[in-house]
Amino acid sequence: MTVNIQQLSLAHVLVVGDVMLDRYWYGAVDRISPEAPVPVVRITREENRLGGCANVAYNVVSLGGKASLLSVVGDDEASHLLEDLVAKTGIAPHLGRDSQLKTTVKLRIIGRQQQLLRVDFENTPQNEVLASQTDQFLQLLPTHNVVLFSDYGKGGLAHVSQMIAAARAAGKAVLIDPKGSDYSRYAGATCITPNRAELEQVIGKWSTEAELVQKAHALRQELKLDALLLTRSEEGMTLFDAQGELTVSAQAREVFDVTGAGDTVIATLATLVAAGLSLRDAMPLANKAGGVVVGKFGTATVSYEELMA
Catalytic residues: 263
HEC per residue, the chain = CCCCHHHHHCCEEEEEECEEEEEEEEEEEEEECCCCCCEEEEEEEEEEEEEEHHHHHHHHHHCCCEEEEEEEECCCHHHHHHHHHHHCCCCEEEEEECCCCCCCEEEEEEECCEEEEEEEECCCCCHHHHHHHHHHHHHHHHHCCEEEEECCCCCCCCCHHHHHHHHHHCCCEEEEECCCCCHHHHCCCCEECCEHHHHHHHHCCCCCHHHHHHHHHHHHHHCCCCEEEEECHHHCEEEEECCEEEEECCCCCCCCCCCCHHHHHHHHHHHHHHCCCCHHHHHHHHHHHHHHHCCCCCCCCCCHHHHHC
Backbone angles phi, psi at 33, to 5 degrees: -65, 140
Backbone angles phi, psi at 137, to 5 degrees: -55, -45
CB within 8 A of 289, min separation 6: which ones? 59, 63, 264, 265, 267, 268, 302, 306, 307
Radius of gyration of the chain (CA): 19
Distance, C-alpha 265 to centroid of its chain: 8
